[in-house]
Structure 1
Amino acid sequence: MRVFVLNKNRQPLDPCKPARARILLSAGKAKVYRRYPFTIILAEEVKRPITHEHQLKIDPGAKTSGLAIVQGKRVIWGSELTHRGFQIREALISRRQLRRSRRNRKTRYRKPRFLNRTRPKGWLAPSLTSRVQNILTWVKKLSRFCPVTGISQELVRFDTQKLQNPEISGIEYQQGTLYGYELREYLLEKWNRKCAYCGVTGTQLEVEHIKPLSKGGSNRVSNLAIGRRPRYANACRPCNQAKSNQDIELFLSKKPSILKRILSQAKRPLADAASVNTTRWKLYHDIKSIGLPVEVGSGGLTKFNRCRQSLPKTHWLDAANVGKVETLIVEVTLPLVITAKGHGTRQLCRTNKYGFPTRHCSRIKFHKGFQTGDIVRAVVTKGKKIGTYVGRVATRKSGSFNISTKSGLVQGISHKYCKFIHRKDGYAYTN
């Protein structure tokens, strides 16, 4: 993975290879500007720098989003950003429960409040807003370290409008290769990548009409399921061939539980995909406001590009394949893993499981020059804990810190042994 380079005036230059960065650092021609992502700054200003076009590509996800920077055909940088949306949701649920129980204890006979609180247009839940803000933060951050000239975003996971109404844009789209990828990928996720009738996994699956076309069925996605097909000529008859053009009620007349499950799952609206698409549209408008040209693509196109090049399924490689892609040369071996941690809490006290305060929280965030969340390196030379520890630090007024390392929590490390690696910015990093 390449190293970001800044001019002396902090203007982003073309990223260089790690070997080149080591030469510049050892010769004193550059200094480390930032550890995550690793960035160097030149000691002397380049008067007329020449930079090339770089495309920042984004694959938004519910739990993890992929980021990649592509220069021409080369993937020079990649990362996977893990969100904390589910933690935010659980924290809000816990807070709501504690407040409700406290109100019931102290204002038992209070009249219920009239529901007069309205949400503004375009409102998103805090867990979804956090995901959008995380990606937007890193788009702006990478634009400061790299001469990004354009952004590619996977705008929709599935083209739900065309899935629901295949006749919307002509026969060329319906019968194209990309439409098949869109449709099959959505059905695989909807039916949990197993046969809708027998539940078998690990076999080849094909699209099945729940209500046969010969009896008035349609090609709408709500009438489609996934069934298995044989791998060999002497295999047992697949479910879709056994069903043939029978009504599903007749085919599953002896299996009422399976019939009930299939009918309810088939009628399930595209709510999951629609909610993700809503978040992506919000992200799209926020990214567009930055001022860079934005290219969009769908999840089906991303998978088509990745499978055509026989690349493994990862978030950052999915990001590299967003939009129009011919051929990619992947220079990244290990992506930078980024985990959103937040910026702490404003609570003045900690509570037990019943909501009662148990201990006080100090308003002072900095102790001995360190703040909880800083990434430090501690080299302990004497005592029972001799060794080197690298990780996020939790500070105390006494100067005895705790460090969260890859191998676990190390307690009681003096601040005298700690040195900064990276200031707290709300994220944890793993190379």
Structure 2
Amino acid sequence: MKVFVLDTEKRISAPVHSAEARLLLSQQKAAVFRRFPFTIILKESAKEEPEPLRLKTDPGSRTTGMAIVNDTTGEIIFVAELSHRGQRIKSLLENRRAIRRSRRNRKTRYRKPRFLNRTRTENWLPPSLKSRVHNIETWVHRFRRFCNIRAISTELVRFDMQLMENPGISGAEYQQGELAGYEVREYLLEKWERKCAYCGKRNIPLEIEHIVPKSGGGSDRVSNLTLACNSCNVRKGNRPVREFLKRKPEVLKKILAQAKAPLKDAAAVNATRWDLYHILKKTGLPVETGSGGLTKFNRVRRGMEKTHWADAACVGKSTPAGLFQMHKGVLGITATGHGSRQMCRVDRYGFPRTGAKPRQKDVRGFQTGDMVRAVVPTGKKAGVYEGRVAVRTSGSFNIKTDTGTVQGIGWKRCRILHHSDGYSYTHI
């Protein structure tokens, strides 16, 4: 991935190769402006107008792929994978609800229930899903600050459900061609976890198989389709699944249950798709949409491996015929939140174990989560440490590095590299 560049007046310049960025820094023609995403600021004004770029996103329930692509040349400028914390939020809310319910049962046992008095706004989303939309919105705005984004592409739907429920639908050109099969195959790969439903083998060629054979009245609906390896598919033939698996009742029960089960991650994506779409439209940039089947169609045609960022680079019909990445590297972004407002810590039974005192978030200009560099010249802890800091009001900090946690580092030895912004970063 390339390095973002700002000129001396903080105006956007064309991204440069990392080698060129190192040269500018070593010659003191530029300085580091931001660590993540890595951005430099020039010490003179930019003379050339940067080329327009397109930001492409592949929203996922757990991880969202993001790619910045030059539509004219087909170059992939920057890629990142954003990991959401929806499951963490759901777990925290469930824990809080259990503690509150226990406390209310002890303190106000006879109070009438009031949950029916609460109203929800139109198009309400649970916090676990809303955080996912906010994460993507945050990074769309950040990327726009550092590069010349002039268009956005995003997956509006994970799968074309109308096409899969009615395979005979006609009227649209792509539905009559190769793409229709990609919609169904991609859905089945996700639903059946990319393995044979009958023997459980992975990393082998899989074929689409009818649970109830068409000769026995079965249809082409996705609820009647599964994945099977060639040997299982041949052995089953046109026999009903109950007859084929009569000696494997556990496998039969699992297949019949999974065939009717909805795809949880796809449901989460579909639940937030319009909320995300309207937020992207508010940027004022043209927003292109596409389906998951079209994304896979583009990726396979271009010979790219299955990754979140590769899917993002292949979203939409605007995908260039030839995609290439001059400088490899993926920025891994994980949503961590901005801390907790809980004033009183509790034990595993829900009883308080600390006093209800507001904590001091900022200590000597540092706060927990900041990325710092500490140089300790002498003593038992002599050395150079880089990592996340955990502050104490005493001024003696802990620094979490790649090799472990170093305790008792004085605040005077620390220098901030990157302020805490609710995310942690890795290079994949």
| TM-score range relative to shorter protein | over 0.9
SS in 1 for 2:421: coil
For 2:353 and 2:236, the matched residues in 1 are separated by 63
After TM superposition, list the pairs within 5 Å mapping 1:41-80 onto structure 2: 41-46=41-46, 49-71=48-70, 72-80=73-81
- Higher mean C-alpha displacement, 363-372 vs 399-408: 363-372
Alignment match, 1:159: 160
Alignment match, 2:296: 303
2:388–2:401 CA contact under 8 A, matched in 1 = yes
2:62–2:85 CA contact under 8 A, matched in 1 = yes
- Within the candidate set 348, 351, 356, 2:346 is matched to 351
Deviation at 1:4, TM superposition (A): 0.9
- Higher mean C-alpha displacement, 406-415 vs 18-27: 18-27
2:7–2:41 CA contact under 8 A, matched in 1 = yes
Alignment match, 1:181: 182
For 2:330 and 2:191, the matched residues in 1 are separated by 30
> Structure 1 counterpart of 2:279, which letter?
D
- Within the candidate set 267, 276, 284, 1:291 is matched to 284
- Within the candidate set 223, 238, 244, 2:237 is matched to 244
Residue 8 and residue 188 in structure 1: after superposition, are their counterparts in 2 closer, same or farther (change >3 A)?
same
> Structure 2 counterpart of 1:87, which letter?
R
For 1:142 and 1:356, the matched residues in 2 are separated by 44
For 1:251 and 1:25, the matched residues in 2 are separated by 68
TM-score, normalization by structure 1: 0.92
Residue 210 and residue 353 in structure 1: after superposition, are their counterparts in 2 closer, same or farther (change >3 A)?
same
Alignment match, 1:261: 254
Deviations 1:172-229 (A, max 9, x none): 5455222222211211221222222333333321111122223322111111111211
Alignment match, 1:404: 400
For 2:30 and 2:212, the matched residues in 1 are separated by 68
Deviation at 1:355, TM superposition (A): 2.2
> Structure 1 counterpart of 2:425, which letter?
Y
Does residue 268 of structure 2 align to residue 275 of structure 1?
yes
Consecutive unaligned residues of structure 1, counting only runs of 5 or more, are 230-237
- Within the candidate set 409, 412, 417, 2:413 is matched to 417
SS in 2 for 1:428: strand
Alignment match, 2:108: 107
Consecutive unaligned residues of structure 2, counting only runs of 5 or more, are none
> Structure 2 counterpart of 1:144, which letter?
R
Deviations 1:210-252 (A, max 9, x none): 22223322111111111211xxxxxxxx232333223333333
After TM superposition, list the pairs within 5 Å mapping 1:17-166 onto structure 2: 17-46=17-46, 49-71=48-70, 72-113=73-114, 115-166=116-167
Deviations 1:63-100 (A, max 9, x none): 22111111231112111111111111111111011111
Alignment match, 1:366: 362
Deviations 1:295-352 (A, max 9, x none): 2222222223223333232222221122233111112322111111111111222222
SS in 1 for 2:273: helix
1:374–1:424 CA contact under 8 A, matched in 2 = yes
Alignment match, 1:223: 224
1:160–1:270 CA contact under 8 A, matched in 2 = no
> Structure 2 counterpart of 1:300, which letter?
G
2:389–2:397 CA contact under 8 A, matched in 1 = yes
Residue 192 and residue 275 in structure 1: after superposition, are their counterparts in 2 closer, same or farther (change >3 A)?
same
2:30–2:43 CA contact under 8 A, matched in 1 = yes
For 1:196 and 1:189, the matched residues in 2 are separated by 12
Alignment match, 1:234: none
SS in 2 for 1:350: coil
- Higher mean C-alpha displacement, 328-337 vs 144-153: 328-337
Residue 104 and residue 86 in structure 1: after superposition, are their counterparts in 2 closer, same or farther (change >3 A)?
same
**Percentage identity across paired residues of the two chains:** 59
Deviation at 1:162, TM superposition (A): 1.1
2:60–2:265 CA contact under 8 A, matched in 1 = no
Alignment match, 2:389: 393
Alignment match, 1:321: 314
- Higher mean C-alpha displacement, 303-312 vs 160-169: 303-312
> Structure 1 counterpart of 2:395, which letter?
G
SS in 1 for 2:322: coil
SS in 1 for 2:117: coil
1:78–1:332 CA contact under 8 A, matched in 2 = no
Deviation at 1:170, TM superposition (A): 4.4
Deviation at 1:418, TM superposition (A): 0.3
> Structure 2 counterpart of 1:425, which letter?
D
2:61–2:265 CA contact under 8 A, matched in 1 = no
1:167–1:174 CA contact under 8 A, matched in 2 = no
For 1:258 and 1:428, the matched residues in 2 are separated by 41
TM-score, normalization by structure 2: 0.92
Alignment match, 1:232: none
2:33–2:40 CA contact under 8 A, matched in 1 = yes
Deviation at 1:158, TM superposition (A): 1.5
For 2:37 and 2:246, the matched residues in 1 are separated by 59
SS in 2 for 1:355: coil
Aligned residues: 422
- Higher mean C-alpha displacement, 381-390 vs 255-264: 255-264
- Higher mean C-alpha displacement, 126-135 vs 108-117: 108-117
Alignment match, 2:422: 426
For 1:259 and 1:24, the matched residues in 2 are separated by 64
Deviation at 1:270, TM superposition (A): 5.0
> Structure 1 counterpart of 2:63, which letter?
T
